């Protein structure tokens, strides 16, 4: 699993979020859909790290895609 942890889904280093994941706390990542991030890219990375992800449009309306 170390290989997947080295692939960043967010700019925050994994070492800062790891204590939350290890203690069973939720780690939520919100990505803008217009940055090139897709569910196909973000979901596998997030799953490997123990994160939850939502993809949003910049207008921040209620619609989102989660994984």
pLDDT in tens, 51-66: 888 888 888 888 888 8
The three-class DSSP label of residue 6 is helix
Cα dihedral angle (41, 36, 21, 62), rounded to 10 degrees? -110
In this model, does residue 2 exceed pLDDT 80? no
Q: Per-residue confidence at 37, pLDDT binned at 50, 70, 90?
A: confident
Q: Per-residue confidence at 23, pLDDT binned at 50, 70, 90?
A: very high
Q: Considering the entire predicted model, what is its pTM?
A: 0.60
């Amino acid at each position: 699993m170390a290989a997947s942890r080295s692939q960043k889904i967010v700019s925050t280093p994994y070492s800062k979020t790891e204590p939350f994941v290890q203690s069973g706390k939720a780690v939520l990542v919100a990505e803008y859909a217009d940055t090139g991030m897709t569910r196909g890219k973000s979901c596998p990375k997030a799953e490997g790290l123990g994160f939850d992800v939502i993809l949003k449009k910049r207008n921040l309306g209620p619609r989102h895609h989660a994984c």
